[in-house]
Structure 1
Amino acid sequence: MPSDASEQESYVFRQRDETESSRLNFQHTIALKVSQGHLIHPSIDISSLKAVADIGTGTGIWLEDLQQQVHSQTRLDGFDISAAQFPSASKCTYQVHNILEPFAPEYHGLYDLVHIRNMVESGGYLQWEDFDFERIVTTGAASPTHAELISLTCSFFTGLGMSLNCSIRVEETMKQAGLADAIREQRNSYWDKSLDSDTKNWCWQSFGGFIPKAVLWSGKAKDEETAERMINEKLQVLGKEYQSGAVPNFAQRVIVGRKA
């Protein structure tokens, strides 16, 4: 595999520390609840999986949970641009790799479930999960602060060249690439009121993680200290709006395609 790529990364959150790892793990927990416990889309036969690659694995929590559901001989490999959040002890394998760089030939055609097409074997599945940022709106009471922060988030991500509705583009690309049975499924937390508290906490944590960078990028703050102060003030107001009945939607999309 390529050498450590961590120096090349550009992470939109402040840093890969325990706070960020906790946020990622909490986000995974909500996503699992929204998907009604499905780590893998029901259209895929989980019992037949022999090798799975998780790209952008982060803390490895998705693989660690999947390990409890697949056969003990199933190969589980996690890849990320940084090893900073890899589990310290695991039966899964974790390696540093920048997905913008080619994988070594020995990984091509190896996996029957993966996020990178070149590594999917014939008949294997590609599963992609992402957010539709423009749909992370609130229900219930109004939340002007949430709307303001989402607007800033969208501007920031667009400015970085990121897509706000990449699930549509991923589905189109799958079809253009010849993947069969491509489907795109929407998952929203507002269907389950028991998730209201979780989605509030998730949004609050997420805003605290990357909005300071967005504020600096927008020019609304001259330095990191000012940006941190501004966002802390916004988060206090946001917390009050959430307490008053505003509930953010955890808007996730899953796209699945099968390599012919």
Structure 2
Amino acid sequence: MTDQVPSRAWQANIGYLFHPVIEQHDNMRIADVGTGTGIWLRDLADALPNTCQLDGFDLSNIMFPSKDALPANIAFHHQNLLLPFPDEYIGKYDVVNVRVMVVALSSNEWEPAPGGYLQWIDCAAHDCVIKGVPEGKQASNAQRGLDLFRKTLNTLGKTSNIAILHSIFQKSGLVSCEEEICSLDNPETRENVNLAVVVGIQHILTAAFKLHKLDEIQSIDQIMELKEAVLGDLHDMSCYFCYDVYVVVGRKLD
């Protein structure tokens, strides 16, 4: 499972790669922090002139694609977001993009300090709900999966509240801060969102199990059984997971 499923589902609901407030030109330098497979950068490369330099940074380089499969203006770098970046990258970017960090980081680790624009796109993972359950029915397996997901995030200390991100931008001295909230309710993307949520539940439960912090689950097999049961509810009842995606943009004054 790569980041392509949630990325493309988010894109279909948000409708843009760059927030409209961000000024674009032919020689932009863009950084994507927590880039994963670089799917956002690869989509961006198709939309921008090849004179733009696109750099992806991630804690792990496992998902980085082969250089042979990339445009010449995309480069990937192994970098921990919480450690100082080399001087060669500081203050060099027109835009720093951050995505899908709300689960990876806790709220006290969010203080941003980039150059140029900062665009942070993330989800209200804790507030995911199930919609479309037929009257008189209960998607009990899907609800149990969500409940375990939330409890496990709290156990692991990932008690982030994406709704405070806009105020963090302002407190960090960023100007022209804007926030847009998009509900992932597009019928055309529901199947992708369902898959992304189910795989997310599986991954967070597996991580907690390996850390011996999951009392309700005694084996990986139980996690896989829960995954199949959740998928069964979604299929049999034609219901779907839904959550909000937040796009927060701000600019650091020179």
TM-score, length basis structure 1: 0.81
1:92-128 deviation per Cα after TM superposition (whole angstroms, max 9, x unaligned): 11110111111122211100101484441xxx21011
**8 Å contact from structure 1 (residues 129, 255) kept in 2:** yes
Letter in 1 for 2:91: G
Per the alignment, in what secondary structure is the counterpart of residue 153 of structure 1?
A: helix
- Which residue number in structure 1 is paired with residue 45 of structure 2? 67
Question: Structure 2 regions of 5+ residues with no counterpart?
Answer: 99-111
- Which residue number in structure 2 is paired with residue 254 of structure 1? 247
1:47-86 deviation per Cα after TM superposition (whole angstroms, max 9, x unaligned): 3661000111111111111111112111111111111111
| Superposition pairs of residues 56-95 of structure 1, within 5 angstroms | 56-89=34-67, 90=70, 91=72, 92-95=74-77
Structure 2 residue 194 is the aligned partner of structure 1 residue 178: no
1:50 to 14, 21, 28: 28
- Which residue number in structure 2 is paired with residue 29 of structure 1? 8
Per the alignment, in what secondary structure is the counterpart of residue 134 of structure 1?
A: helix
1:153-211 deviation per Cα after TM superposition (whole angstroms, max 9, x unaligned): 2222222222342x223211111122112122111122x22222222222222223332
Letter in 2 for 1:34: N
1:196 to 187, 190, 193: 190
TM-score, length basis structure 2: 0.83
Per the alignment, in what secondary structure is the counterpart of residue 157 of structure 2?
A: coil
**8 Å contact from structure 1 (residues 199, 250) kept in 2:** no
CA distance in 1, matches of 2:47, 2:53: 12
Per the alignment, in what secondary structure is the counterpart of residue 249 of structure 2?
A: strand
**8 Å contact from structure 2 (residues 175, 252) kept in 1:** yes
- Which residue number in structure 2 is paired with residue 219 of structure 1? 215
Structure 2 residue 234 is the aligned partner of structure 1 residue 242: yes
Q: 1:180 to 1:48 in 2, by over 3 A?
A: farther
- Which residue number in structure 1 is paired with residue 109 of structure 2? none
- Which residue number in structure 2 is paired with residue 159 of structure 1? 155
CA distance in 2, matches of 1:62, 1:107: 19
Name the structure with the higher helix share. 1
Identity of aligned residues (%): 25
Question: Structure 1 regions of 5+ residues with no counterpart?
Answer: 1-19
Structure 2 residue 129 is the aligned partner of structure 1 residue 137: yes
- Which residue number in structure 2 is paired with residue 101 of structure 1? 83
